[in-house]
Amino acid sequence: MKTLSLTALAAALALTSVSAQARIEGGFGYDQGFGVLMQFDNKLNAFIGNDGVAVDYLFARGAVTQVEEIPVSWYVGGGAFVGWDDGYGVRVPFGLEFHLNNRWDAFVQIAPDLDFDDSAKFGVDGAIGIRYAF
């Protein structure tokens, strides 16, 4: 029993230290309608809005340059979306992030998508938003 308690305590401490180091950002924006968004560790974007939900894994990132003293970075990802009324599909978001300070950033992105609702349809979505890092 003592070993089980120590193992559980060690696992809880390990998970706490990992989550304490994770960067979590939340904010508002427009993607699948107007809604709320989260970004986890600069790798996973999640959005839930009045038109649907989208989740993207960001697999490539890089720095652009500073635009009038605001650092700008780019990202490319892959993900999926589900519309509340009109289908589901996959998408490839390309975006720019404007790092306003160490807590706030704004972003814009375009996301070519393939909608599988009735038949495969190609489209392009756009998104814009602002996030705060916790």
Residues 27, 36: Cα–Cα separation, whole Å = 6
Tell me how crowded residue 32 is: count the other CB atoms within 10 A of its CB: 21
Q: Residue 110 in contact with residue 126, Cβ under 8 Å?
A: yes
pLDDT of residue 20: 55
Q: What angle do CA 88, 94, 98 make, to 5 degrees?
A: 125
Q: For 49-55, what is the mean pLDDT?
A: 94
Query: What confidence tier does 76 reach under pLDDT thresholds 50, 70, 90?
Result: very high
Q: Which two tokens stand for residue 83?
A: 């519309």
- Residue 56 clears pLDDT 70, i.e. is over it: yes
Domain range annotation of the chain: 24-133
Q: Which CATH architecture has domain 24-133?
A: Beta Barrel (2.40)
Comparing 8-12, 96-100, 122-126, the range with the smallest average pLDDT is: 8-12
Q: Which two tokens stand for residue 51?
A: 């038109």
* Residues sharing a CB contact under 8 Å with residue 54, sequence separation 6 or more, in sequence order: 31, 32, 45, 46, 47, 79, 80, 81, 82, 91
Percentage with pLDDT > 70 across the chain: 83
Q: For 67-94, what is the mean pLDDT?
A: 90
